[in-house]
Amino acid sequence: MSNRTAPRPEASLDWAYLDWNATAPLRPQAAAAMTGALDICGNPSSVHRRGRAARQLVERSRAAVAALVGAPAESIVFVSGGTEANHLALLGAGQERVLVSAVEHDSVLRAVPEAEPIPVDRDGFVRLEALADRLAADPRPTLVSVMLANNETGVMQPVSEVATLAHAHGAVFHCDAVQAAGKIPLDIAAVGADLLTLSAHKLGGPPGVGALVLSGAVDLAPLQRGGGQERGRRAGTENAPGIAGFAAAAEAAATEIDRYRRVGQLRDGLEAAILALAPDAVIVGAAAARLPNTSAIAMPGTLAETQVMAFDLDGVMVSAGAACSSGKVGPSHVLAAMQLPPDIAAATIRVSLGWSSTEADVDRFVQSWAALYRRRRGLALEACAA
Amino acid sequence: MSSSVDKSANPNTPPIYLDNQATTRVDPRVLEAMLPYFIEHFGNPHSTSHAYGHVAATAVEEARAEVAALIGADAREIVFTSGATEANNLAIKGAAHFARAHPQADRVRDHVVTLTTEHKCVLESCAQLEREGFAVTYVPVEPDGLVALDRLEAALTPRTLLVSVLAAHNEIGVIQPLAGVGALCRGRGVLLHTDAAQAAGKIPLDVEAMHIDLMSISGHKLYGPKGVGVLYVRRRPRVRLLPLIDGGGQERGLRSGTLPTPLCVGLGRAAAIAADEMAEEASRLRGLRDRLHTGLARRVPGLSLNGDAERRLPGNLNLSFPGIEAPSLIEACPSIAISTGSACTSAKVEPSYVLRALGLPDAVANSAIRIGLGRFNTAAEVDFAVDALAAAAARLGSNAGCAGASATPHDL
């Protein structure tokens, strides 16, 4: 598989970047679109020709981003990223009660701290019967927020069943599709979401831009007030170059979605190699439907932080969990919700691949992992002997 | 990513850009600084486990220091946001929500003071607070657009939490007496927020000398990128806010979400350039502005300047052409990009609430255009604009139909 069109970061020619769920390299199509957009220099709300050119660019981009999820252009509200989109959905939809899965991203969990968590099973799937009980127990207007795919484990939720349940109880359904978009085919009608969150930089667009997709007749109160941009749903001068980059990345992601079949094979090969090396290794969520690119792997007895530091020295970039909280100590709420034993959770790292990942990247990771595993095992045996 | 306006013989040459209060072209030096962080150094700055993250985080911190230096602040006082609109929302609602959530035993603080001519995002944030039960006083400005300090002082009460005053106005360019406002506020333990989206990088600002507690800055108004801004939040004495956007806990918990490294780097570079070149650029722009103003005044009878003539942004003019509807004038001059006022509201037909607040009759307000000169404008462009506007005004004034359309910027 060639990397002719995919950006291989210069500084990393001999590094293996396997942290795509934290952020993805900019797609060349996005870079080109942004270059063009920067030449326009206009405020999309200005009525002169420069402004109108910027406006056209934003509107064309709106249609392209909408197409990624099979939605009409007018359903897109451009925002500054996934975190803002999740806040806008949960706070702007104006529902009295919010139900969230226990494995949601922090930007959902913290948007409404009093939201009621719905537990997940050991595979990481939201418990539908628990959701049904909660929905039935309280007649107040409710919003249900369940992510499409988890950022730490890649586990994909049964979102269309969640949607059916939510709608049967008159609830609004929000789906955070930040990690899924661009990695699997996505259709908002099939998901059944009334509100769907997208982030550009996770699918090869620039950081600093995202979208909330509205389906149907959800009334949305703005979080950020001011000029009447985005039909009054989100004030602030549109980030036109960023939006153009987002659209180009969305188009490229849709066109090249098949690349993720190969990514899935690479990931499966990686996991098979780890399990062959180390029968005690744990692949979290292995029994669940998962994104093709994500693997949460536990090396029992070795803290995740120790692992990522050792791999970093070998030029292999992975993470101990979500990037936004990777500077924090404390166990992952996702792994805890899946009732993973705390010692296994503390030994779990996230490996995430992308469209330009290569077999060489995977080999590099497996070698580094194996070396650390053998070192740690040697130490453990010495300790036993002593 | 190349080229400024190319005035060669291409009939599709973009109009001369004289709307630098709406947005500014990204400075090529800013773009050059940003590019590596889009491409090779694309890491998530919050990924602490590997080199990609470290490289990005280091760049973000350098940018933070550059922005801080522009306004005499400490890097730890700089919170990156998605723009000035978000920064204004965060400052005003964040301060009010914190005060409500953490009431002081001896003093209720539920009152906000602002000006009638503030940017929409400040007024809308205040209106939201009113719906939540806060009290807001909107102090009128004088006919020159400036706030009278005694009027502002009279609006302050023991319950006043925050005063929000624009540093420099987006439509009429007037520069408010921030140091005076700051002294009033500091003496009473009232927080001062200023929307400096138009002022930062254009005029000297010093958060210490001016007693500013919160300041909003926008990237795209100072030749930086769109989609990024800053809220300065004073540490000593510490200003407390509740975040509007929570989640991963970035930006010391005040603003969650992955930081857009290239945009932060761009804003930092833009701030550094502005700090270096401010004095020289301001004097050049003042010269161009006066050339434009006097050139037009000579040829357009009854032309009037809205807003104080002296205390205003170096590149800004807001001019009323008697008897001519501003939209017609703009339409008659497609070869220059100007506006009737604030871009976010310029698509609407109603007269500017800002010009009305100056006490201008509707006829004068309706005939006002805003011209914003910037870093990349030349004397030749100014002369071209004078010709285009004067010719158009003459024809529209005598009802002689569409003017200016024949002139194109290629002739320069």
**Please, which residues have CB within 8 angstroms of residue B58's CB and are 6 or more apart in sequence?**
none
Q: Across the interface, do B262 and A50 touch by the CB < 8 Å criterion? A: no
Measure in Å the smallest separation between the Cα of A106 and chain B Cα atoms.
5
* Candidate from A83, A84, A229 with C-beta closest to B344: A229
Give pLDDT, residue A4. 37
**B118-174 residue pLDDT tens:** 999 999 999 999 999 999 999 999 999 999 999 999 999 999 999 999 999 999 999
A12 touches chain B (CB under 8 A): yes
Contact (CB, 8 A) for A234 and A224: yes
**B107-121 residue pLDDT tens:** 899 999 999 999 999
CA dihedral B242, B246, B250, B252 (to 10 degrees): 20
**A86-122 residue pLDDT tens:** 999 999 999 999 999 999 999 999 999 999 999 999 9
Look at residue A299 and tell me whether its pLDDT is greater than 90.
yes
Catalytic residue numbers of A, as ranges: 324
- Mean pLDDT (whole number) for A121-131: 98
- Mean pLDDT (whole number) for A164-174: 97
Topology at the third CATH level for domain B16-26+279-411: Aspartate Aminotransferase, domain 1 (3.90.1150)
* Candidate from A45, A86, A323 with C-beta closest to B44: A323
* Candidate from A224, A229, A323 with C-beta closest to B86: A224
Measure in Å the smallest separation between the Cα of B159 and chain A Cα atoms.
25
Give pLDDT, residue A381. 77
Sorting pLDDT into bands at 50, 70 and 90, what band is B273?
very high
Q: Cα(first)–Cα(last) distance of chain B, in Å?
A: 24
**A192-229 residue pLDDT tens:** 999 999 999 999 999 999 999 998 778 899 999 988 89
Considering chain A, what percentage of its residues have pLDDT values greater than 70?
Answer: 94
Give pLDDT, residue B403. 39
Give pLDDT, residue B231. 98
Look at residue B258 and tell me whether its pLDDT is greater than 80.
yes
**What token pair was written down for B115?**
């000006």
- Mean pLDDT (whole number) for A301-309: 95
d(CA A8, CA B327) in angstroms, rounded, equals 49
- Mean pLDDT (whole number) for B5-28: 77
Look at residue B90 and tell me whether its pLDDT is greater than 50.
yes
Q: Which of A225, A332, A361, A372 should be substituted to probe chain B, the one whose Cβ sees the most B Cβ atoms within 10 Å?
A: A225
**Strands (DSSP E) found in A7-163:** 16-17, 76-79, 97-101, 116-118, 142-145
In this predicted complex, what is the ipTM?
A: 0.91
Measure in Å the smallest separation between the Cα of B187 and chain A Cα atoms.
30
Q: Which of A19, A34, A48, A87 should be substituted to probe chain B, the one whose Cβ sees the most B Cβ atoms within 10 Å?
A: A48
Residues of chain A with CATH 3.40.640.10: 28-255
From residue B122, alpha-carbon distances to A238, B22, B202, B203 in Å are 18, 17, 21, 21
Considering chain A, what percentage of its residues have pLDDT values greater than 90?
Answer: 83
Q: Domain A28-255: which CATH class?
A: alpha beta
Give pLDDT, residue A40. 81
Give pLDDT, residue A322. 67
Give pLDDT, residue B399. 55
A7 touches chain B (CB under 8 A): yes
DSSP label at residue A332: -
Considering chain B, what percentage of its residues have pLDDT values greater than 90?
Answer: 87
Catalytic residue numbers of B, as ranges: 344
CA dihedral A261, A266, A268, A271 (to 10 degrees): -160
d(CA A331, CA A45) in angstroms, rounded, equals 46
**B178-191 residue pLDDT tens:** 999 999 999 999 99
The packing angle between helices A49-68 and A28-40, to 10°, is 160
**What token pair was written down for A190?**
């099939």
Look at residue A63 and tell me whether its pLDDT is greater than 70.
yes
Give pLDDT, residue A38. 86
Q: Which of B245, B331, B333, B339 should be substituted to probe chain A, the one whose Cβ sees the most A Cβ atoms within 10 Å?
A: B245
Sorting pLDDT into bands at 50, 70 and 90, what band is A329?
low
Lowest pLDDT segment from A214-218, B60-64, B197-201, B205-209: A214-218
**B352-408 residue pLDDT tens:** 899 999 999 999 999 999 999 999 999 999 999 999 999 999 999 875 333 344 444
What pTM does this model have? 0.92
Considering chain B, what percentage of its residues have pLDDT values greater than 70?
Answer: 92
Look at residue A83 and tell me whether its pLDDT is greater than 90.
yes
Sorting pLDDT into bands at 50, 70 and 90, what band is A379?
confident
CATH number of this structure's domain A13-23+257-385, picked from the four choices 3.20.20.140, 3.90.1150.10, 2.40.50.140, 3.40.640.10? 3.90.1150.10
Q: A7 or B286: whose pLDDT is higher?
A: B286
Domain at B28-272: CATH code: 3.40.640.10
User: What are the two backbone dihedrals, phi and then psi, of residue A58, each rounded to the nearest 5 degrees?
Assistant: -65, -40
Look at residue A42 and tell me whether its pLDDT is greater than 90.
no
- State chain A's mean pLDDT as an integer: 92
Q: Where are the domains of chain B?
A: 16-26+279-411, 28-272
Sorting pLDDT into bands at 50, 70 and 90, what band is B241?
very high
